[in-house]
Amino acid sequence: MSNLIKINQIDISNINIDNQTKRFFLSHTNNSKISEYKDKNEVSLKIDEIINYTFAYKGQTPSSQREYEFMSTAIKEDVFLKFYSYTIEDVENAFKLGVRGELGDYYGLNPKTFYSWLKDYKEKVLDPTISKVYKSLPAPQKTTPNQKEIDEYSKRLVCDVYMKLCKENVYEFNDIGNLIYNFLERIGLINFSSKEKNDIFNESKISLKNEVIKKNDDLKRLGKTFQKLDLEKAFSEIELGANKDFNNQLIVISKKIALKRFINDCKLSNVNLYELITNKLKNGN
């Protein structure tokens, strides 16, 4: 039995789509993502079951225990590193479609084939399925989310960003409206020292100056030189805090830099961010 409670339960029983589409959709949306499992052994054991089923369906067996262990390890690495946003049910669906010749390329029962099935599952099955279902859903009534719903959304968003950084060493998040920074600051997770805040603010000044330079370069390239800013004046206003628009931009940029620092620090400290935020919210922050 899973150590996670199923989340985001969506009822699509009354919409007019075929049963297979419903099954694929619910497999992805109404079950826990692989990244959310605390006990990775639970995922590992299930993947072994799926691999064994695949071999049995083909009427084959690995040539040796060593070959099987190599294959199993390679597939699990792919799942944990590349397909962690899948559910276990997604992996099972991908392999079942693949072994029946309905998905991906077949190179024999080996890690290359399994990777092909997993990769094609998103593009050829999952994305079209989700699109089809959401187009068939009745238009939702406009409601204002309560604070708990907003906090849950914020938690999942920042944890997705954090997971991508941890798994792929990629940070591409643009915290529009400083939503996530404000959320983490409110619950008491972001709390830099005075020196750190000063460093962040100075970094934001450099970033803003570079943006002003880039804007001028873009205007020059478009032949709109008359709209260019006086850089010496702009830089002076940025340093002295003498321009309201620049001051507001500095606040936004500073929060984005601070958020990135916080998430990087969490990675360096190997923090379980999902659990940390959950505990903060439970304690009433």
Q: What is the pLDDT of residues 84-141, one digit of tens each?
A: 999 999 999 999 999 999 988 888 899 999 999 999 999 999 999 988 888 887 776 6
How far is residue 113's CA from residue 103's CA, in Å, rounded to a whole number?
10
Give dist(CA 243, CA 268) in Å, integer. Answer: 37
Label residue 260 exposed, middle or buried (CB < 10 Å: 0-12, 13-18, 19+): middle
Let me know: does 157 contact 49? Beta carbons within 8 Å: no
Q: Is the pLDDT of residue 264 over 90?
A: yes
Mean pLDDT of the chain: 89
Give CA separation, 138 vs 29, 104, 131, 134, 141, in Å. Answer: 18, 33, 13, 8, 9
Cα–Cα distance for residue pair 226/80, rounded to 1 Å: 54
CB 66: neighbour CB atoms within 10 A? 9
pLDDT at 250 over 60: yes
| 263: nearest Cα among 158, 183, 192 | 158
Higher pLDDT, 137 or 186: 186
Poorest-confidence range of 31-45, 212-226, 232-246?
212-226
Which three-class secondary structure string do you get for the chain? CCCCCCCCCCCCCCCCCCHHHHHHHHHHHCCCEHHHCCCHHHHHHHHHHHHHHHHHHHCCCCCCHHHHHHHHHHHHHHHHHHCCCCEHHHHHHHHHHHHCCCCCCCCCCCHHHHHHHHHHHHHHHHHHHHHHHHHHCCCCCCCCCCHHHHHHHHHHHHHHHHHHHHHHCCCCCCCHHHHHHHHHHHCCCCCCCHHHHHHHHHHHHHHHHHHHHHHHHHHHHCCCHHHCCCHHHHHHHHHHCCCHHHHHHHHHHHHHHHHHHHHHHHHHCCCCHHHHHHHHHHCCC
Residue 211 has pLDDT above 70, yes or no: yes
